[in-house]
Amino acid sequence: MSATSEQEVTDALQPFIGHYPNWAQELARKYFTKTVAEFILHGDVRDLVPTKDRDGNTTYVGLHSFLVDDLFAARDAVLFYDRSAGIHFADDASRADFSRAVSGYDSIFGTDYQNKLPKEPSQVFQLLENYLRLRLSDGKRIALVIDYAETIAPMAEASMYSAEDRRALVFLQKWSRDPLFVENDLTICLITENLTDLNQQLVQSPHTAEIHVPIPDEDDRKRFIDTSLVGSRSTFDAHSDVSPSNLAQNTAGLNYTQLRSIVADVLENKNRLTFETLSELKKEFIEAEAYGLLEFIETDYSLDLVAGHNEAKQHLRQAARALRAGRPDVMPMGYLISGPVGCGKTFLITCFAGEIGIPMVKLKNFRSQWQGVTEGNLEKILNLLSAMTPVAVMIDEADAALGDRDASGDSGVSQRVFSQIVSFMSNPKNRGRVIFFLVTARPDLMPVDLKRQGRAEEHIALFYPNTRADREELLQVMMRRTNVDLPMEDVPEELLDGDRTYSGADMEAILTRASFRAAGREDGTVTADILAETVRDFIPPTYPTEIELQKLAAVLECTSRDLLPTKYRDMDRAEVVRRVKELQHEIG
């Protein structure tokens, strides 16, 4: 069908489907082109759907009800199937018509399905195909909804498929391209939350259409809240410190069902809704929706607590000002934060979370030992991040978490994860809306595709304090953190100006040990003698080769000369590259 004719279809349908959600309008337009009959609904498919009742009022119903009463209201029969319930029907008329067809099937093939319908996909699909062919040949209009489709045609390697899985997949592929099915009034909807959970031959087929059901945006949430408060606004206002507009603004990432729980708790239970309560509820809902794989970083820290790293702090404060000023267009797509272990990479970004004015979440380990689960976890997380914008995302140990395009030995999981991540990170619509912070001590292990411009664009390198002033500043921070109160003149000189380099983690360990020693003495106070004794005794873990490699790798990755300490700023880069290769070979 030409582009002009598709537009004509859209214009002709608008009076009838204009009140439908955008995803439903897209499905209707694609269906009426008569080029596709099999659709895959994915995303927020377990949520409510907005529609209009007979009086023209907005109402919210479940997806199944929306399909039966709205999208497929004109069909002669609407059938549902899932592994648990088997075949079931939208109404008694559909049930009676199917029963008549099954009676004829039983008489021909000697089965007894009229008394007990099968539940296994291979038997069900054979029965459904017979019914669909009979009724389509009679000019009937049919809709078939297959829920939890990932349990029928799961994502797996071909060698892992059972005979039943193969038969079910063949049926679905055959139906998607059968001229009788495509050219007549038949719609087949496969429903799954995560597209990556479904067999990729179906997903990538040109004969199926993927329809994404998004999490509601702010305008959608505002309409839902206003509808929910019709006749109850005074009760809500009496028990809520949060206005309906603020409620809509501060619930990015939540769906209608979760919003309904919040509103109902106020209206029915009369529990007071404060901004603090709302923040806790949002955190609880989103972390549960992400299967515990996203963790909100909530902190009262600011960059004022970070010792040293002045150039890095200056850069991040400028980014924070841009975000607060509503200038996402000037923000990088992401940051790569590198440096040796113990230099404060994670702490720096945690403190930055307290300044940016937008939520920050930490991506936890989303990998699973089970086939297909890792990709499904990641898809769920990325969909939530898209709905939570603006949001910052910290990925610690990014070199291990994000996979590689060339990885092997895990059935392609790392390759697929890598592809999902880089595609999401490079989407220009996410600039300033989803900001990634990739934290690693080994940036040399990360693939170039993740570090290039258009993804992790700004590379910030952090190092151990290398001047006396930096060491004093870092030590003062660590003393406040460990409740050690000593004047700087009582601090052993080797801790501030010796040949040995101490990281922030080393200093914290020394001060904690000193407090431990002091706890067994009279007043439990850390004295200059106790601290000096602890410093002399302290032997930090020794891995100089690894530390040197981590430092030089950070030097090579840094995209700003001003962020490098003086001794690294003027180093010959060819010499640094040579030394890094030597160290990589030595470490193996």
| DSSP state string for 10-65 | HHHHHHHHTTS-HHHHHHHHHHHTTS--EEEEEESTTSEEEEE-TTS-EEEEEHHH
pLDDT in tens, 5-17: 555 555 555 656 7
Which regions of 339-433 does DSSP assign to beta strands (E)?
360-363, 391-395
Residue 266 scores a pLDDT above 90: yes
The pLDDT score that the predictor gives to residue 3 is 44
Residue 336 scores a pLDDT above 90: yes
The pLDDT score that the predictor gives to residue 369 is 56
Tell which wins on pLDDT, 446 or 523: 446
Residue 579 scores a pLDDT above 80: yes
CATH number at residue 279: 1.10.8
pLDDT in tens, 198-248: 998 899 999 999 999 999 999 999 999 999 999 999 999 999 999 999 999
The pLDDT score that the predictor gives to residue 10 is 56
**Same domain (yes/no): 149, 236:** no
For 541, the domain range is 465-588
pLDDT in tens, 186-195: 999 999 999 9
- Is residue 485 in some structural domain? yes
- Is residue 492 in some structural domain? yes
- Is residue 176 in some structural domain? yes
CATH number at residue 152: 3.40.50
pTM exceeds 0.95, yes or no: no
In percent, how much of the chain has pLDDT > 90?
A: 45
Q: Do residues 197 and 29 lie in contact, with contact meaning Cβ atoms separated by under 8 Å?
A: no
Q: Average pLDDT over the chain, rounded to whole?
A: 87
pLDDT band at 126 (very low <50, low <70, confident <90, very high): very high
CATH number at residue 341: 3.40.50.300
**Same domain (yes/no): 514, 423:** no
pLDDT band at 2 (very low <50, low <70, confident <90, very high): very low
**Same domain (yes/no): 341, 266:** no
Domain count, the chain: 4
Among 147, 181, 213, the domain-final residue is 213
- Say how far apart CA 404 and CA 572 lie, in whole Å: 29
pLDDT band at 304 (very low <50, low <70, confident <90, very high): confident
- Is residue 295 in some structural domain? no
Among 461, 495, 519, the domain-final residue is 461
pLDDT band at 258 (very low <50, low <70, confident <90, very high): very high
pLDDT in tens, 127-148: 999 999 999 999 999 999 999 9
- Is residue 294 in some structural domain? no
The pLDDT score that the predictor gives to residue 420 is 83
- Is residue 297 in some structural domain? no
- Is residue 417 in some structural domain? yes
- Is residue 181 in some structural domain? yes
**Same domain (yes/no): 67, 169:** yes
* 294-296/208-213 β-pairing: unpaired
What mean pLDDT comes out for the span 22-37?
A: 90
Of the candidates 169, 162, 164, the residue with the CA atom closest to the CA atom of residue 208:
169
pLDDT band at 327 (very low <50, low <70, confident <90, very high): confident
- Say how far apart CA 467 and CA 451 lie, in whole Å: 30
**Same domain (yes/no): 175, 39:** yes
**Same domain (yes/no): 107, 155:** yes
The pLDDT score that the predictor gives to residue 450 is 84
**Same domain (yes/no): 423, 490:** no
The pLDDT score that the predictor gives to residue 15 is 58
The pLDDT score that the predictor gives to residue 9 is 52
- Residue 160 has which token pair? 């892992």
- Say how far apart CA 442 and CA 466 lie, in whole Å: 21
pLDDT in tens, 71-81: 999 999 999 99
**Same domain (yes/no): 388, 451:** yes
